[in-house]
C-alpha cells in the first residue's frame, strides 16, 4: 500500500501531488484539499484531526498515518473500490470523514470529484459516481431539491451516510432509491467508521457490523468497547449504550451521559426521540429538568414559538406514541436547539428552566 503516491487523480486528470499542493486554487474546497495534502505528505508520521464536540469541547488529536491508511483500506475493500473509480468528495477535510475520503482516493488511486460541502448537488443529475460519503442533511437536501425527481441516485452507486444519526424519516425515504446506502458508526479516534449498517435493499437491518480485524464488547455499564489494530489503548471505551448480537454485530441505544433517571427509572432520550421522529416535523429533543420528588422530569424541547395549540398537539402525539412513564411532564419551545460545529444536537448547551 503506497501512502504517498506521486500523482493524484482529480476530476479525470492525473496531477503531480506536489503541483497540486503548491498550486494556486480559487475554490475553497481545493484550497482545503491542498492544505490537507501538504500535511499528509509532510515528514510527520501523524495527522491532526478535530473531534466533533458532541460530548464537550472539540479537541485536536493525533492519528498515525499508518493507522489512518488502514482505515481507508478497509473501506476500499468493503465497497470494492478499484483504481480509477470515480468518487465524490463533498465533506470538509477539517474533520476526519473528509480527510479519509482524500486518503481513500490517494491509496486507492481513485478519481476524486471535489465540491464545496454546501453545493446544491445539481450536477448529480448528470455526473455518475461509484461512491460518496455525506451527512444526513446533505442527503435530505438532495432528495428535497426541485430539480430532482427523487431518482437521481441512479447516478450514485454506493452512499455512506455518517456524521450523526440517520433520522428514521430519511431512512424510510432511502427505501425508494436505487443507490446502496449504509450508515456508519464512527469516531475521530478510530479514523472514521469501524462498522456499517445497511439502510436499504437486501440485508438492511438495525445492526452495525464491524469491518475486518475489528470487534466490540460491552463494559459493565453496557457501553460499547472497541478492539482494533493500531489503537493506543485496547479497548477504546465509548459512552454509547449498545446491545450486542455477537462480537462483530451491535445496535446503538443512546449515550450513557444522556441517560435520564426519573422516579428511579432510567430513560434513553434517543430512544424516546426515535418514537417521535416521524410525527414532529421541526427540530426537537428530549432532555430533563430537576424535579422535587422524581429527581428529574422528562422535558420535550421543540424549536418554534410557544402556543397553547402547539403544546396540546405535541402532548397528544406523545400520549399516543410514548409509553406511560415516557410522557414528558413539560413541553418547552426555544428559538433554536444548539448544535455542535459538526451539526449534532448539543444537549449540554441547551438552557431551559
Q: What is the spatial distance between Cα 68 and Cα 74, in angstroms, rounded to a whole number? A: 10
Q: What is the spatial distance between Cα 316 and Cα 310, in angstroms, rounded to a whole number? A: 10
DSSP 23: S
Which triple of cell numbers denotes residue 142? 438532495
Any bridge partners for residue 250, and if so which?
208, 244
315 Ramachandran zone, left/alpha/beta (phi>0; psi -120 to 50): alpha
Q: Supply the pLDDT for residue 146.
A: 58
> Do 87 and 76 touch, CB atoms closer than 8 A?
no
Q: Supply the pLDDT for residue 45.
A: 95
Q: Supply the pLDDT for residue 259.
A: 86
Q: Supply the pLDDT for residue 145.
A: 75
φ, ψ for residue 287, nearest 5 deg: -140, -160
DSSP 232: S
Q: What is the spatial distance between Cα 308 and Cα 94, in angstroms, rounded to a whole number? A: 43
> Do 63 and 46 touch, CB atoms closer than 8 A?
yes
Helix (H, G, I), strand (E, B) or coil at 148: coil
DSSP element (H, E) containing 160: strand 156-161
Q: Write b or e for each residue in 322-340: b if 16 or more Cβ atoms lie within 10 A of its Cβ, otherwise e.
A: beeebebeebbbbeebeeb
The separation between CA 12 and the C-alpha centre of its own chain, rounded to angstroms, equals: 28
φ, ψ for residue 224, nearest 5 deg: -70, 135
Q: What is the spatial distance between Cα 140 and Cα 12, in angstroms, rounded to a whole number? A: 28
SS3 of 68-79: HHHHHHHHHHHC
> 45-52: which pairs have CB atoms within 8 A and are 24 or more residues apart?
47/99, 49/95, 49/96, 49/99, 49/188, 49/191, 50/94, 50/95, 50/96, 50/188, 51/188, 51/189, 52/95, 52/163, 52/188, 52/340, 52/341, 52/342, 52/344
> Do 336 and 342 touch, CB atoms closer than 8 A?
no
Which triple of cell numbers denotes residue 113? 470529484
Q: What is the spatial distance between Cα 36 and Cα 106, in angstroms, rounded to a whole number? A: 12
Q: What is the spatial distance between Cα 193 and Cα 292, in angstroms, rounded to a whole number? A: 42
Q: What is the spatial distance between Cα 57 and Cα 200, in angstroms, rounded to a whole number? A: 34
Tens digit of pLDDT per residue, the chain (353 long)?
Answer: 899 999 999 999 999 999 999 999 988 889 999 999 999 999 999 999 987 655 556 788 999 999 999 999 999 999 999 999 999 999 999 889 999 999 999 999 999 999 999 898 888 888 999 999 999 989 988 888 755 555 567 789 999 999 888 888 889 989 988 999 999 999 999 999 999 999 999 989 999 999 999 999 999 999 999 999 999 889 999 999 999 999 999 999 988 888 888 888 888 888 899 899 889 989 899 988 888 778 889 999 998 888 889 999 999 999 999 998 999 999 999 988 887 766 677 777 777 76
Helix (H, G, I), strand (E, B) or coil at 254: strand
Q: Supply the pLDDT for residue 341.
A: 66
Any bridge partners for residue 188, and if so which?
none
Amino acid at each position: 500500500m503506497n501512502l504517498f503516491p506521486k500523482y493524484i487523480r482529480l476530476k479525470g486528470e492525473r496531477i503531480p501531488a506536489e503541483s497540486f499542493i503548491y498550486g494556486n486554487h480559487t475554490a475553497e474546497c481545493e484550497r482545503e484539499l491542498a492544505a490537507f495534502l501538504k500535511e499528509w505528505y509532510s515528514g510527520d508520521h501523524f495527522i491532526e484531526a478535530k473531534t466533533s464536540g458532541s460530548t464537550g469541547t472539540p479537541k485536536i488529536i493525533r492519528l498515525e498515518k499508518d493507522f489512518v491508511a488502514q482505515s481507508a483500506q478497509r473501506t476500499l475493500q468493503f465497497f470494492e473500490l478499484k483504481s480509477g473509480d470515480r468518487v465524490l468528495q463533498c465533506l470538509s477535510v477539517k474533520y476526519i470523514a473528509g480527510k479519509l475520503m482524500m486518503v481513500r482516493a490517494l491509496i486507492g488511486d481513485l478519481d476524486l470529484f471535489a465540491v464545496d460541502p454546501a453545493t446544491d448537488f445539481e450536477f448529480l443529475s448528470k455526473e455518475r459516481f461509484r461512491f460518496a460519503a455525506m451527512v444526513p442533511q446533505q442527503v435530505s437536501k438532495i432528495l428535497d431539491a426541485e430539480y430532482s425527481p427523487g431518482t437521481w441516485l441512479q447516478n450514485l452507486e454506493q452512499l455512506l451516510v455518517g456524521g450523526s444519526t440517520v433520522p428514521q424519516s430519511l431512512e424510510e425515504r432511502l427505501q425508494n432509491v436505487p443507490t446502496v446506502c449504509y450508515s456508519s458508526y464512527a469516531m475521530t479516534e478510530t479514523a472514521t467508521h469501524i462498522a456499517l449498517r445497511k439502510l436499504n435493499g437486501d440485508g438492511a437491518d438495525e445492526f452495525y457490523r464491524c469491518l475486518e480485524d475489528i470487534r466490540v464488547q460491552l463494559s459493565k455499564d453496557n457501553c460499547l468497547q472497541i478492539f482494533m489494530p493500531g489503537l493506543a489503548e485496547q479497548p477504546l471505551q465509548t459512552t454509547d449504550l449498545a446491545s450486542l448480537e455477537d462480537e462483530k454485530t451491535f445496535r446503538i441505544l443512546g449515550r450513557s451521559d444522556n441517560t435520564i433517571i426519573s422516579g428511579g427509572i432510567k430513560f434513553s432520550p434517543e430512544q424516546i426521540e426515535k418514537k417521535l421522529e416521524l410525527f414532529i416535523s421541526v427540530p426537537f429533543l428530549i432532555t430533563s429538568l430537576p424535579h422535587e420528588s422524581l429527581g428529574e422530569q422528562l422535558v420535550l424541547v421543540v424549536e418554534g414559538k410557544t402556543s397553547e395549540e402547539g403544546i396540546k398537539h405535541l402532548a397528544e402525539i406523545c400520549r399516543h406514541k410514548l409509553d406511560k412513564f415516557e410522557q414528558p411532564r413539560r413541553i418547552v419551545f426555544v428559538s433554536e436547539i444548539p448544535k455542535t460545529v459538526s451539526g449534532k444536537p448539543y444537549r449540554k448547551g441547551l438552557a431551559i428552566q
